[in-house]
Amino acid sequence: MTEKKPQEPERIMTNYECIEAELKRHQNTNKIVLALGHNAKSEAGKTEAFKYIASVLIEIQKSATDDKKDLTICTPDSIVRAIIDAATFRLPIDGRQLAYLIRYENKAGRCFEAKFQPGYKGFIYKIAEHYKDVDFTAEPVFEGDQLDLSDEGGFQTYKHIRPNPFQKDQAKMIGLIACLAYSSDAGRHSKIATLPKSEIDQIRKAAKQDFIWASWYFEKAKAAALKRLCKIHFATVMGVQELIMYDNETHFAIETPNGDRITQAGGADDLAKALEHKPAVPMEIVENVTEGVKADVAK
């Protein structure tokens, strides 16, 4: 009588493997294909969806090295929902930092969930789909600085004189100024937005990840000012308008000029309908990129 070999215990999947399996489920992959603007049976759509999923999984893996950012502990279904939302706006989640998956604690369910959040570069990315040569800048204004603004027929410019160009004292910063320039058939345009220090502090208080502000205060403040600029001057641009609606409904609307919540309802399904008239254009999915000063446009 032969002895039975003891069965090896079944290996339990890691959190990351559960997330990967959920994203690659046929049903969820099809949802991402549709969110990207393709027909469910489109082979090109499936290829793009798998590339999109692969780029997101890389970012999730990267986050696992930081306990404060670790997305692998988020529920797989919340990550699927967040990715479908991001794909609806055709914003890749990769090293270009156009959009992010943000982790937050769901105290009711005592778990962590993920949400899609567009970055200021994502807003500029959408603007660049309509206008050429999009270029942007943002800089802090300190006590003792001279700042002059001008507006000639909608072409807004500024002159900023900083006596101490090496000033980095947060306590002496009084605000930020952001400028976005672009070209259209009518010529070159320039738009400006300012953000007082008091409102920057409110934005920081509303942030879910204050440790990033603590480490990169000026960079985060610049991002807030640029996002404010996009919401003020480009709220009627197709694609940007829907992204603003989503951002204001999903996240705190503090970046708007008066901090009021925009009450227009609409989730990913409604936004998908609003964007479905736009034909799908394959996105360039990248894993590692360098920082640039101009917006990348989907190819």
pLDDT at position 257: 45
- Domain extents for the chain? 15-118, 121-275
Region of residue 239 (phi > 0: left; psi between -120 and 50: alpha; otherwise: beta): left
Q: Grade residue 1 by pLDDT with cuts at 50, 70 and 90.
A: low
pLDDT tens track for 70-92: 999 999 999 999 999 999 999 99
Edge-first strand listing for the sheet containing 132-142: 132-142, 173-184, 187-196
CB atoms under 10 Å from CB of 194, counted, come to 16
> Residues near 166 by Cβ (< 8 Å), separated by ≥ 6?
none
Asked if pLDDT for residue 258 goes beyond 80, the answer is no
Tokens standing for residue 21: 């399996």
Shortest CA distance to 95 belongs to which of 284, 274, 299?
Answer: 284
pLDDT at position 156: 94
Highest mean pLDDT among 10-14, 35-39, 225-229, 253-257: 35-39
> Residues near 203 by Cβ (< 8 Å), separated by ≥ 6?
224, 254, 255
Percent of the chain with pLDDT over 90: 52
pTM of the model: 0.75
pLDDT tens track for 42-73: 999 999 999 999 999 999 999 999 998 999 99
Shortest CA distance to 177 belongs to which of 162, 163, 158?
Answer: 158
Instruction: Match 């294909």 to its residue by tokens.
Output: 33
Q: What are phi and psi of 184, to 5 degrees?
A: -135, -175
pLDDT tens track for 135-188: 989 999 999 999 999 999 889 999 999 999 999 999 999 999 999 999 988 899
pLDDT at position 2: 62
pLDDT at position 256: 46
Shortest CA distance to 20 belongs to which of 93, 80, 99?
Answer: 80
Higher pLDDT, 290 or 187: 187
Task: Return the SS3 of 57.
Answer: helix
Residue ranges with strand state E in the chain: 99-106, 111-118, 132-142, 146-152, 155-161, 173-184, 187-196
Higher pLDDT, 169 or 6: 169
Cα–Cα distance between 280 and 35 in angstroms, integer?
A: 10
